[in-house]
Amino acid sequence: MVKRNLETCFSPALYETERHEGSIIVIIDILRASSSICTAFENGARSIIPVATVPEARAYKGKGYLVAAERDGFILDFADFGNSPFNFTPQKVTGKTIVYSTTNGTGIIQMASSAGYIVIGSFLNISSLTGWILKQDKDVVLFCAGWKNRFALEDTICAGAVAERLMASTLYSTICDSTHAALDLWSLAKGDITGYIEKAAQRSRLRDKNLDDCIGFCLTIDYTRKVPIVKEGVLVCVDL
Amino acid sequence: MVKRNLETCFSPALYETERHEGSIIVIIDILRASSSICTAFENGARSIIPVATVPEARAYKGKGYLVAAERDGFILDFADFGNSPFNFTPQKVTGKTIVYSTTNGTGIIQMASSAGYIVIGSFLNISSLTGWILKQDKDVVLFCAGWKNRFALEDTICAGAVAERLMASTLYSTICDSTHAALDLWSLAKGDITGYIEKAAQRSRLRDKNLDDCIGFCLTIDYTRKVPIVKEGVLVCVDL
């Protein structure tokens, strides 16, 4: 049996658009975009329109959409709420289409738009995500959002956790150094994810802005069975 | 005491020219450019002119220079020899100025040219390198060459080894996720560097081309006391 190829991309600046065209791209931005998207679907959101720029988000607001938008942790003045998963409550999102724009995560969804499939990954949906991937028979790229093009530890260990499960299936192999590094860093982190994340720069940024209340939640394994997937530019969800 | 800042850059695509301007940039491309440069100075080379492009290297050959040049492991047809440290023998290099162009390593020397200092790092000169850095009282960026903009394990663990020594000095601190990752990967690798490197893509590339005879040598700690440093675009060496 020919195994499918597993790769990891540590930053938007390292993404190779043409080479990844036929692959499943797993968007990983656990603090906080990909965790918030998973939470929104768990709480009943109908769809999410990811937009890369502030003017796009503002234009949607003008059309009457519910808009979640932040930059560097701060809610944009025209937005209904920001980027914490705790904002996406059933009361706010059930049955709704949400327009969503964040510092890092939503832009890379558009960057990956030429790929075969784009799905959202986090600790919150890791089992359903990997279960879905294993049924697809496709190469996979774990695309870590990082922070302003920089490598981020928290996304990398989540990529390592996903990679561990895919490699354990025997359906995947890798010759990608980034994947090996993610697997190795995950092996160091998995005994105490919260403790490991303490040294991450994003951990400090969120603490400095009093936005770190959601970190424990974002590290919860299997809070939801939802797998958010992009269809024609819009996030909908597959329920496993 | 205010500590100096230590950062790590995993790829030329992640290098932030303006932000790193006042720093010491340590170029790490251990398989094989940075190891070969250290070896050349140990074996008596007077200076090395790093050139980024093939036409530049060819032009220097036309002027009568000794030229070491390769792309993807293959010696360029006009060059005197390629990129193995075993090429830079005392017989060939003593007292000479060498023009040097490689797939990854020499290009990033030019990319970093606006920084305060550029030095060459490898396992071969790690003690003298870190000893030299600790005397400078400057911020440091460990700049891993990687491979065609991709993350490379072998350069990362060498960066981790350098970072471990700088952090142990108490003169440096870091809030850089890449540095934390390099330190952690080095902690996994240091008990058996050769074994750890087995999974690196560059290990396989060199094996496939029968160019892997030098790997054991490139992992030798403290083969030389030379610290190659760029002065006015040319590599010379500081002897510690």
Helix axis angle for A177-189 and A153-168, nearest 10°, is: 100
Tell me the per-residue pLDDT of A28-65, one tens digit each, with 9 for 90 and over.
999 999 999 999 999 999 999 999 899 999 999 999 99
Q: Does A185 touch chain B (CB under 8 A)?
A: yes
The pTM (predicted TM-score) of the whole model is 0.96
Q: Do A153 and B200 touch (CB under 8 A)?
A: no
| Lateral strand order in the sheet of B47-50 | B74-75, B66-71, B97-101, B47-50, B234-239, B226-231, B117-121, B24-28, B140-144, B4-9, B172-173
The minimal CB distance from B184 to the residues A176, A185, A201 is found for A185
Q: Does B17 touch chain A (CB under 8 A)?
A: no
The minimal CB distance from A204 to the residues B11, B13, B175 is found for B175
| Nearest residue in chain A measured CA to CA from B188 | A184
Q: A15, A167, A174, A184: best mutation site toward chain B, by most B Cβ within 10 Å?
A: A184
Tell me the per-residue pLDDT of A56-95, one tens digit each, with 9 for 90 and over.
999 999 999 999 999 888 899 999 999 999 999 999 999 9
* pLDDT in the model for residue B72: 85
Q: Which secondary structure element, helix H or strand E, spans residue B181, and what is its range?
A: helix B177-189
ipTM: 0.95
Q: Under a CB-based contact definition with an 8 Å cutoff, are residues B149 and B13 in contact?
A: yes
SS3 A175: coil
Cα–Cα distance between B239 and B234 in angstroms, integer? 16
Q: Does B204 touch chain A (CB under 8 A)?
A: yes
B204: closest CA of chain A, how far (Å): 9
Helices (H) and strands (E) in chain B, counts: 10, 11
pLDDT in 10s for each residue of chain B, 240 residues: 789 999 999 999 999 999 999 999 999 999 999 999 999 999 999 999 999 899 999 999 999 999 999 988 889 999 999 999 999 999 999 999 999 998 887 889 989 998 989 999 999 999 999 999 999 999 999 999 999 999 999 999 999 999 999 999 999 999 999 999 999 999 999 999 999 999 999 988 999 998 889 999 999 999 999 999 999 999 999 866
The minimal CB distance from B150 to the residues A14, A188, A199 is found for A14
Q: Do B177 and A152 touch (CB under 8 A)?
A: yes
- Is the pLDDT at A202 greater than 80? The verdict is yes
* pLDDT in the model for residue A168: 97
* Terminal C-alpha separation, chain B: 26
* Terminal C-alpha separation, chain A: 26
For residue B234, give Cα distances in angstroms to B20, B150, B231.
Answer: 20, 26, 5
Q: Does A199 touch chain B (CB under 8 A)?
A: yes
With a CB cutoff of 8 Å and minimum separation 6, the contacts of A53 are A101
Q: Does A184 touch chain B (CB under 8 A)?
A: yes
Q: Do B14 and A149 touch (CB under 8 A)?
A: yes
Please give the distance of CA A76 from its chain centroid, rounded to a whole number.
Answer: 21
Q: Under a CB-based contact definition with an 8 Å cutoff, are residues A118 and A27 in contact?
A: yes
Q: Binning pLDDT at 50, 70 and 90, where does residue A239 land?
A: low
Cα–Cα distance between A98 and A107 in angstroms, integer? 16
- Is the pLDDT at A1 greater than 80? The verdict is no
* pLDDT in the model for residue A238: 82
Cα–Cα distance between B126 and B193 in angstroms, integer? 14
* pLDDT in the model for residue A240: 65
Which chain B residues are Cβ-neighbours of A201 within 8 angstroms? Answer: 175-177
- Output the six-digit token pair for B164: 């471990």
B152: closest CA of chain A, how far (Å): 6
| The residue to which tokens 């190469």 are assigned | A139
Cα–Cα distance between B122 and A111 in angstroms, integer? 35
Which chain B residues are Cβ-neighbours of A159 within 8 angstroms? Answer: none
* pLDDT in the model for residue B49: 96
Q: Under a CB-based contact definition with an 8 Å cutoff, are residues A227 and A34 in contact?
A: no
CA within 13 Å, CB half, A52: 10
Cα–Cα distance between B131 and B126 in angstroms, integer? 8
Q: Under a CB-based contact definition with an 8 Å cutoff, are residues A215 and A204 in contact?
A: no
Cα–Cα distance between B127 and A20 in angstroms, integer? 41
Q: Under a CB-based contact definition with an 8 Å cutoff, are residues A3 and A138 in contact?
A: no
Q: A177, A203, A205: best mutation site toward chain B, by most B Cβ within 10 Å?
A: A177
B41: closest CA of chain A, how far (Å): 30
> For residue B137, how many other CB atoms are within 10 A of its CB?
9
User: Is beta strand B226-231 parallel, antiparallel or unpaired with respect to B234-239?
Assistant: antiparallel
Q: Does A10 touch chain B (CB under 8 A)?
A: yes
* pLDDT in the model for residue B239: 67
Q: Do B151 and A188 touch (CB under 8 A)?
A: no
Which chain B residues are Cβ-neighbours of A175 within 8 angstroms? Answer: 201, 204
Q: Does B199 touch chain A (CB under 8 A)?
A: yes
Cα–Cα distance between B27 and B4 in angstroms, integer? 19
